[in-house]
Amino acid sequence: MKYNLSEINDVIRNRRSIYPEQYSERKVHREMVEVLLKNACWAPTHKMTQPWYFKVFMGEGIQKLATFQAETYKAITPEEKFVERKYRKLQERPLKASAIIAICMKRDPKESVPEVEEVMSVACAVQNMYLTATTYGLGGYWSTGGLTFKDEMKAFLELGEKDRCLGFFYVGYPDIPWPKGQRRHLQYYTDWVES
């Protein structure tokens, strides 16, 4: 065997989403975030389009993102639908993270593969970040909430018309015991055709 299977099994199976409320005050260094991003780009990519694009918010940049999303929510939400708690969450939650990585898909100008393939490729890149975070003992979490799919967010991230924001990857040091996960047994999600 070329690699240690039991280690990779552990990393994959112990990878968990760890949420900003569960992060400590300790800040993650930029060098570690760079490793997450360097591993991200080793995801599979059909026709080598390498469709991922990441805008990284750290330090004061996180405040900028938080203020943008809270104020935009306020601006675009009709008064009768506005929820103060949601507004405050959009403002305060990001500040608990050391880094927030906007997960984007940049559409290949030649459109050489269907869009869904590019989205899948970016999702693989996110899994690489998740696994790298797990290896470091860092908390990571892919969020698609808030303004993720709004045009205003696309403009804020300076994306082109055919590009897409696919969420935000939060990173921080966990302040909780590493969470346990659970999944269904193999038999519930497979059918085998052998004859």
- For ligand FMN, the binding residues (CB under 6 A) are 16-17, 142-145, 167, 181
Shortest distance, position 181 Cβ to ligand FMN, whole Å = 5
* Residue number, 48 or 116, with CB nearest to ligand FMN: 116
* Residue number, 19 or 156, with CB nearest to ligand FMN: 19
* Residue number, 135 or 143, with CB nearest to ligand FMN: 143
φ, ψ of residue 188 to 5 degrees: the values are -85, -15
* Residue number, 77 or 144, with CB nearest to ligand FMN: 144
Shortest distance, position 2 Cβ to ligand FMN, whole Å = 27
Number of CB atoms found within 10 A of residue 155's CB: 10
Q: Are 68 and 156 in contact (CB under 8 A)?
A: yes
Give the start-end residues of each E strand in the chain. Answer: 52-58, 99-105, 139-143, 164-172
C-alpha distance from residue 100 to each of 132, 141, 144, 189, 194 (Å): 15, 9, 12, 33, 45
Return the residue nearest ligand FMN (CB atom): 17
Question: In 3D, which of 181, 116, 177, 104 has the Cα closest to residue 142?
Answer: 104
Shortest distance, position 194 Cβ to ligand FMN, whole Å = 30
Shortest distance, position 10 Cβ to ligand FMN, whole Å = 14
